[in-house]
Chain A
Amino acid sequence: MLALESIKTQVEQAIPGAKLEIVKNDAPSAQHSLLVNNTSGLAVAKYLRDEPSWRFDYASNVTGVDWPELELTEKIKVKKVVDGVEKEVEEVKKTVRPGYLETVYHLYSMELKHGPLIIRLRTENRTDKVHLPSLTPVWRGAEFQEREIFDLYGIVFDGHPDLRRILMWDGFKDFPMRKDYAEPDDYEYEPTPHDEVLDKAKQHYPAGA
Chain B
Amino acid sequence: MHLPRCEDFGPWTLDLGLIVMLGEGIIKGMAVTAKNFLGSYVSEERLTTIQYPEQRQELPEAARQFPFLVFDGNDPMAGLRCVACQICEKECPPKCIYIEKSKDKKPDYIGKPQLYPATFDIDISVCMSCQICVEVCPFDAIKMDTEFELSTGDRFGGLLVNKHQLAKSNAHYHRIHPTEADEVDARLAAEKLKAEAKAKADSEAKAKAAAEAKAKAAAAAAAPPATPPASPPPPAAK
Contacts and interface: CB of A to CB of B under 8 A. Distances in A.
Q: Do chains A and B touch in the complex (CB under 8 A)?
A: yes
Most chain B CB within 10 A, of A189, A194, A195, A197, is at: A194
A192 B123 contact: yes
Nearest to B160: A191
Range of interface residues on A (Cβ < 8 Å): under 10
B95 A191 contact: no
Most chain A CB within 10 A, of B95, B121, B122, B126, is at: B95
A195 B160 contact: no
Interface in B99-140: 121-123, 126
A26 interface: no
Nearest to B97: A192
Most chain B CB within 10 A, of A191, A192, A194, A197, is at: A192
A190 interface: yes
Interface in A157-209: 189-195, 197
B181 interface: no
B156 interface: yes
Interface string B89-100: 100000111100
A192 B156 contact: no
A192 B162 CA distance: 11
Range of interface residues on B (Cβ < 8 Å): 10 to 19
Nearest to B96: A192
Contacts of A195: 95
Contact of A197 (B89, B95, B97, B156): B95
Chain B, interface SS category? strand
A87 B229 CA distance: 62
A191 B96 CA distance: 8
Contacts of B89: 194
Contacts of A190: 123, 126
A205 to B, nearest CB: 12
Nearest to A195: B95
Interface in B55-73: none
Nearest to B156: A191
A23 B89 CA distance: 39
Contacts of A189: 156
A193 B89 CA distance: 11
A192 to B, nearest CB: 4
Interface string B150-175: 00000010001000000000000000
Contacts of B95: 192-195, 197
Most chain B CB within 10 A, of A189, A190, A191, A197, is at: A191
Nearest to A197: B95
A175 B79 CA distance: 51
Contacts of B121: 191-192
Interface in A33-68: none
Contacts of B160: 191-192
Contacts of A194: 89, 95, 98
A196 to B, nearest CB: 10
A167 B156 CA distance: 31
Contacts of A191: 98, 121, 123, 156, 160
Nearest to A189: B156
A106 B89 CA distance: 37
A191 B156 CA distance: 7
A190 B97 CA distance: 12
B168 to A, nearest CB: 20
B150 to A, nearest CB: 15
Contacts of B96: 192
Interface in A127-142: none
A195 B98 CA distance: 12
A15 to B, nearest CB: 39
Given A192-B95, A194-B95, 7 more contacts: A191-B98, A191-B121, A191-B123, A191-B160, A192-B121, A192-B122, A194-B98
Interface of B: 89, 95-98, 121-123, 126, 156, 160
Leading 3 A-B pairs by shortest Cβ distance: A192-B98, A194-B95, A191-B160
10 contacts: A189-B156, A190-B126, A191-B98, A191-B121, A191-B160, A192-B122, A192-B123, A192-B160, A194-B89, A194-B98
